[in-house]
Each structure stands twice: as C-alpha cells, then as structure tokens.
Structure 1
Amino acid sequence: MALHCGYLIWQVQADGTFALAREEENVIDRATAARLQPAQSEQLRAQFGC
C-alpha cells in the first residue's frame, strides 16, 4: 500500500460502555499512486484526513 489511513469514532452509551459509531478506512495501492501527480496525491491525503 502506498497510503493506508483511517479513523474510528466511539460513542459513550448510557451504561458507560463504548460503542463503535463510525469507522472509515482509506487506501491507495501502489499502482494507483504511481499514476497520480504529486498535487493529486496531496489532495487525496487531505481529503482522507491523513
């Protein structure tokens, strides 16, 4: 992988436990990354929140 990032959002439940509310995973493989211009790569990183 050329890029692999993501995040989890946990929510506190009424009983004090946590529940997973959202999961996001972003991936760009090496073949795709090789075709991107540097500006495109940076734009995707910013869009993904990496």
Structure 2
Amino acid sequence: MSDITKGIIRLSDTVAGEIGRLCRTFAVKTSEKGIGGQQNGRWREKFAGRLLKLV
C-alpha cells in the first residue's frame, strides 16, 4: 500500500472513532436527562400527594 492509502485509512479510523465517542457521550447525556426527568416527575407526584393530603 502507498503512504497516501495508509494515511487515508488511518484518518478514516480516527474519524470513525471520534464519531463513535461523540455518539456514546450524547447517549449518556440523553439518558441522564431522562433519568433526571423521571426523578423530577416522582418528586412532583410526591409533592402533589402531600398537597392533596393537606387539603
């Protein structure tokens, strides 16, 4: 293989690795937001339940 071909293969591997890393990072952030939203929902339910009990 020529040096140019090796360089292109190396570059494509690097780009593929970066895209994979970004996708994983995005997936983790999305799942953290989802978990946070669920917890907020639970807190709202608990808070609403207390308000109903007080009334």
* Same fold at TM > 0.5: no
Max Rg structure = 2
- Greater helix percent: which structure? 2
TM-score of the two chains, using structure 2 as the length reference: 0.22
